[in-house]
Amino acid sequence: MNFNNQIELELYFADHFDTILFPVLADMYFVQNDLRRARKVCDIGLKHHSNDAPGLYVLAKIEKEEGNLKKAEKLLERVLLYAHDHLAAAEALCEIQTVLGRATNRLLRSWKHVLELDPNHETAQHFINKVDGQDKQSKPKATSRQPVDEDKKSSKNKKDFHQQDTQPSEPAVHELSEPLKVSSRLATFTLVSVLKNQGLFSQALEVLDALEVKGESQDSISLERDTIQTLIERSKKD
């Protein structure tokens, strides 16, 4: 059978709902943006092969395309459970978790998995180095404890009591402030919108650059750039 022949696959699938080849046909429908048929094929196929990683991945792409990001996240986690080396699923999981605003530690685990699969992955390297650098800066230096003379200790406590209202507090550790390099494969307008709404304008502009490399609509990219520049100017005035 010719796996590139959609008609042959459709005829075979109609007679063999339990075929392990269902993800091939489902992905064909997905590429054609026929999400209804793609989902139907996945639903039927996964009833017979519930842990099939390729089938789960196609269904995750459908959920993502339809905006069901939490469902897509769970499906991608299942894909990686049964196919630990699925790089595309690992990358997609990082993107979705970023859009959903997952905790930094959770994102760090996901990006480390990507780097494990692809040691040259620039986005994963940049994110991990940035977060590890923030962690090192935020850790207090260890100091050795020495005996303190009671009179000196009492004097010090009084001094600290009088100064505590005037002493400036330690600056808080901020979130990632520098742009995060995003590959064209991970760039989406959804990610731009999330970053923009969070006030992360530099990161949003970088994702737009990646979308330009990806060949997305220049008009949409220009419109987003103008909007972000306006927001940057307003934030400077404030």
At 185, give phi and psi (nearest 5°): -70, -30
Q: What is the pLDDT of residue 134?
A: 67
Go through the chain and tell me how many residues it has: 238
Q: What is the pLDDT of residue 175?
A: 39
* Low-confidence residues of the chain: pLDDT under 50: 144, 156, 158-179
Q: What is the pLDDT of residue 158?
A: 47
